[in-house]
């Protein structure tokens, strides 16, 4: 399946760069299991101009799972060419999903290698260097992403597209109950929406631990310096060109992006 996996990844990458979509992957390239999906996704790294910069988790909330039609989280790779500074102006051209997702992001200080026993939350958080505020602008390379299924969406890099990443949070985030932490999102003057850290698999730290153990099961090391975005803590924000999205994480700070 290696040749077919590479061909599937090449198609997904081409569609991603062009802002285009397909009904489904060609017969013979379509993944039938999560492992198949991750095998295709791994080939995406060879198309990126720079090394992988981290990982994202999709569908860590019930709303997020319903949005893309899955019943469990999915991991995807982050690439430097799709990461942006706060306040960036990002085009929505070719983006059919058109949602913004405020998320907690953790940057690792220590690498966590694959092992037989699952990592605990305490072990994972001890390996974290910094907390970052992020806004993801996801998308899919499938016309009907809600019907594509988990394996294909994993191959589709867990619906990754653009990511806005803020600087390291200076507040003492380790002393906070991130599960109870409220996030207030504002989409221009059109509407506001509140969320909470518990929407992310019960706690963003639990989501990060899920990611570490998902990678461990795939034989992948989460590297020092890599960032992990843990999924939206607010019901995905419907956006359109001209919107200005601002996410207020209280004492942790704010992050914003403008859509063109």
Helix (H) or strand (E) holding 124, with range, is helix 121-126
Structural domain harbouring 43: 2-259
Q: What is the pTM of this model?
A: 0.96
Q: Is 184 helix (H, G, I), strand (E, B) or coil?
A: strand
Q: Is 159 helix (H, G, I), strand (E, B) or coil?
A: helix
CA torsion, ordered 145, 9, 226, 172, to nearest 10 deg: 0
Residues in the chain predicted with pLDDT less than 50, given as ranges, are: none
- The confidence score (pLDDT) of residue 168 equals 98
Q: pLDDT of 191-232, one tens digit each?
A: 999 999 999 999 999 999 999 999 999 999 999 999 999 999
CATH of the domain at 221: 3.90.850.10
Domain count, the chain: 1
- The confidence score (pLDDT) of residue 65 equals 87
Burial category of 18 from C-beta neighbours within 10 Å (exposed 0-12, middle 13-18, buried 19 and up) = exposed
């Amino acid at each position: 399946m290696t040749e077919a996996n590479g061909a599937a990844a090449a198609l997904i990458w081409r569609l991603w760069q062009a802002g285009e979509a397909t009904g489904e992957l060609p017969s013979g390239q379509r993944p039938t299991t999560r492992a198949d999906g991750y095998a295709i996704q791994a080939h995406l790294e060879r198309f990126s101009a720079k090394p992988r910069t981290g990982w994202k988790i999709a569908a860590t909330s019930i709303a997020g799972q319903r949005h893309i039609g899955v019943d469990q989280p999915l991991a995807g790779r982050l690439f430097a060419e799709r990461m942006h500074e706060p306040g960036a102006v990002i085009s929505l051209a070719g983006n059919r999903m058109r949602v913004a997702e405020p998320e907690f992001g953790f940057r690792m200080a220590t690498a966590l290698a694959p092992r037989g026993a699952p990592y605990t939350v305490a072990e994972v958080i001890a390996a974290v260097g910094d907390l970052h505020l992020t806004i993801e602008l996801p998308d899919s390379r499938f016309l009907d992403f809600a019907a594509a299924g988990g394996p294909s969406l994993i191959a589709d890099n867990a619906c990754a597209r653009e990511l806005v990443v803020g600087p390291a949070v200076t507040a003492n985030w380790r002393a906070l109950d991130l599960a109870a932490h409220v996030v207030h999102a504002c989409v221009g003057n059109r509407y506001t929406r509140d969320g909470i850290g518990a929407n992310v698999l019960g706690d963003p730290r639990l989501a990060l631990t899920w990611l570490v153990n998902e990678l461990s099961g795939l034989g992948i090391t989460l590297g020092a310096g890599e960032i992990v975005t843990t999924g939206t803590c607010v019901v995905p924000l419907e956006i359109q060109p001209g919107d200005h999205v601002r996410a207020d994480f209280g004492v942790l700070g704010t992050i914003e992006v403008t859509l063109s």
